[in-house]
Amino acid sequence: MATHVRHPIGLPALRPADARTFASLYAVESFARATVSSVIPIQAYEILRNEQIVSILYTVVALLGLSVTLFMPMLIRRFARRWVYTAGACLLAVGSLFFVTHTLAGQLAGMLCRVMGASALSITLSLYIMDHIRKTDFMQAESLRMAWSMLAWTSGPTLGIFLYTRFGIYAAHGAVAIFAMALLALFWTYRLGDNQSIRPGKTRPANPLANIGRFVAQPRLRLAWLIAFGRSCFWTTFFVYGPLFMVITGEGELAGGLLVSAGNALLFTAIFWGRVGQRFGGRRTMTSAYFAMSAMLLAAGAVGESVPFLTGALLLCGAFFAIALDALGSTAFMRSVRFYERAQMAAVYRTYLDFSELTPPLVYSVVLAFFGLGSVFATLGLLAAVCGFVTWRYLPKSL
């Protein structure tokens, strides 16, 4: 049998991961999360029948989610990134199983699974992006990722409400499980590999508190966190107080829903902002976007309840500039973090999302005790102005 030759089995060629790879993963993930983004608070209210207790439930989940985020590097250190990403997708599907019980325990467990899954997916996807995309291409990759998620965040909430009201709880959360499994299949089809160089060495701290200290000690990482925190505060305010403003001023729930949908639809402009950032530089573009967003919010606060539709239009203009920060803001982190501590710093960086969900309602509760609802937008406008000044003052011109 010396003449017998065993030919290798042909395998299909795999295209190297690029910006479209991560944009497609994020788009499917966005469908999995956006589909029930409007259903979950409705479900919580149906169970608890008290707005204040619903707020407490969200606060508890946000605090627990913050803890999970900080401990995520320990999981990445212990397991390969692909398995942490896989676990994140599975947690979205498992959360659906808890939600369909329509009990308080099931609601809490489902919300926790959703938060943990989103945290795992966000951190590992960021690591993959930094691993496969060149620093000079971060703006283009991030703007493309935001643009591809536009369809999900525009149609997903409406789809979820339609399934929930027309076909019941199993249809709405079943759709999430289907999207989560589709995400898992797509991820393993791409066969993304782990870069061993980003795995922390034995001398690197794995303690979450040590990671926070290391993060805070680096000025450029602090700046990247503030940029992300400011624009995330805008979206938290826009999604919660925008519809609430329309209802309180008598324009109705439909007007509030259309306002949110219109804001999400503007995500397609992320590609435009990516090109602007490449043409004029990230520092100049992000600073201008923050100051323009601040002007729109201050104007919305000044108009207030006197002309509701004008206030809504000003909020949409603010959303247009906020998308510039969505498209470009994360590049400040990706181009500043050291390669050997990406996992630890990515986990701390992502806490901006948890703090942006906790801080604004606390601040607004104090402001609303003295002023009308328009003061919420004016307060956010002042924060945007501060973020814009800090960005202009400290972000390197070379970004």
Which residue is it, tokens 């034995």?
A: 202
pLDDT confidence of residue 341: 83
Q: Give the pLDDT mean for 21-29.
A: 92
* Contact between residue 181 and residue 117 where contact means Cβ atoms under 8 Å apart: no
Mean pLDDT, rounded, for 258-286: 88
Q: Are 332 and 221 in contact (CB under 8 A)?
A: no
Q: With contact defined as beta carbons under 8 Å apart, do 139 and 282 qualify?
A: yes
Give me the torsion for CA of 334, 91, 355, 264, rounded to 10°. Answer: 80
pLDDT grade, residue 197 (50/70/90)? very low
pLDDT at residue 5 greater than cutoff 50: no
> Which one is predicted more confidently, 354 or 380?
380
SS3 325: helix
Q: Tokens for 154?
A: 């525009």
Task: Give CATH superfamily name and number for 208-398.
Answer: MFS general substrate transporter like domains (1.20.1250.20)
**Protein fold of 15-192:** Growth Hormone; Chain: A; (1.20.1250)
> What percentage of the chain exceeds 70 in pLDDT?
91
What ranges do the domains of the chain cover? 15-192, 208-398
Identify which has the larger pLDDT, 273 or 53. 273
Q: Which residue has the higher pLDDT, 289 or 336?
A: 289
Q: Print burial letters for 261-285: b (CB count within 10 Å at least 16), e (below 16).
A: ebbbbbbbbbbebbebbbeebbbbb
Q: What's the N-to-C CA distance of the chain in angstroms?
A: 63
Each residue's pLDDT tens digit, 61-109 = 888 888 888 888 888 888 888 999 999 999 999 999 999 999 999 999 9
pLDDT of residue 324 exceeding 70, the answer is yes
Longest dimension (CA), the chain: 92
Spatial separation of the C-alpha atoms in residues 83 and 173, rounded to whole Å: 24
Check if the beta carbon of residue 184 is closer than 8 Å to that of residue 90. yes
Q: What percent of the chain has a predicted confidence (pLDDT) above 90? A: 37
Please tell me the predicted confidence (pLDDT) of residue 14: 56
Q: Report the C-alpha gap between 155 and 268 in whole angstroms.
A: 13
pLDDT in tens, 9-20: 444 555 677 888
Side-chain-side CA neighbours of 302 within 13 Å: the count stands at: 9
DSSP secondary structure, 120-133, as one string:
HHHHHHHHHHHHHS
In tens, the pLDDT along 229-260 reads: 999 999 988 887 887 788 778 887 677 777 88
Give the lowest-confidence range in 91-95, 146-150, 374-378: 146-150
**Are 15-192 and 208-398 the same fold in CATH?**
yes
143 pLDDT more than 70:
yes
Whether pLDDT at 263 is above 60:
yes
pLDDT at 193 over 90: no
- Can you tell me the mean pLDDT for 193-205? 49
Overall size of the chain counted in residues? 399
- Is 168 a residue whose pLDDT tops 50? yes
pLDDT at 1 over 60: no
